[in-house]
Amino acid sequence: MAKVISFGIQKGGSSKTTTSGIVAYILSQEYGKKVLAVDLDSQGNLTELLTQQDIYNFHEKTVFEALKEKDAHKYVHNVSEGLDLLTAEDHLARFPSWLYESYRGNRSLVLKETLENVQDEYDYIIIDTPPALGDQTINALAASDAVVAMFEASKFCYSAIGRFLETCIHVQELVNKDMKIAGILRSLIDARRTDNKALIELIEEEYGELCFETIMTRTAAIGRLSINGFQDNPELNQGLKLYREFVKELIERV
């Protein structure tokens, strides 16, 4: 049965989507694993990143339809050998209203129940969450074996990390006692800035071994990944160097 791993923080611009996409790519292409990526953000950025297509190409063939039918199998799209995707587009923003107006059941477990009929087909399921502590994120945590908290070296993200971890613990206590916090993945916005470095060190002081040893730095090659994609991208190999180190750590922890 697949290991389900979510990437989250209620702060935009923290590399959740990029990291989710790259981890799914490395696990499928370099480790030979069967991977399902799940785009749980109505912006659909993971969908665009992995498919290099407009999100509206997947209208009514997305994770939202899968959630409403509790059937992931019908809505899986193949991206490349070993890598599949549950896509997202704008209509996923209606998920909370559908959940409270039309759904009858445990509202935190819709995603978990939706993925049950495909879990035996994959080694890993990677979930990209929206930048909010709403119903999509709660469903992702409730469906996960492990969660990675994303931390960019900024004051606002520092303010968010504690609340995100509290939410994870809340989900553990009430919904998913088997979910573990795999760790905090730290990312430097600018390695030349002393305030960025100080925040990276502060997180390590406060959370210790919960932090992954790998610290990501933003490179131009990864910044252009959304434009160039994973196929026929001459910058890709160099850009993935640090992510490969992170994936090694992640596998060991989960």
> pLDDT at position 188, please?
80
Residue pointed to by tokens 């932090």 = 211
**What number of H helices and E strands is found in the chain?**
12, 8
Q: Decide yes or no: CATH 3.40.50.300 for domain 3-253.
A: yes
149 Cβ neighbours under 8 A, 6+ residues apart: 8, 9, 161, 164, 165, 168, 181, 183, 184, 185
> pLDDT at position 218, please?
82
Q: What is the pLDDT of residues 57-89, one digit of tens each?
A: 999 999 999 999 999 999 999 999 999 999 999
Q: What is the pLDDT of residues 13-48, one digit of tens each?
A: 899 999 999 999 999 999 999 999 999 999 999 999
pLDDT at 49 exceeding the cut of 70: yes
Kind of pairing, strands 83-86 and 76-80? antiparallel
Considering the entire predicted model, what is its pTM? 0.96
The residue extents of the domains of the chain are: 3-253
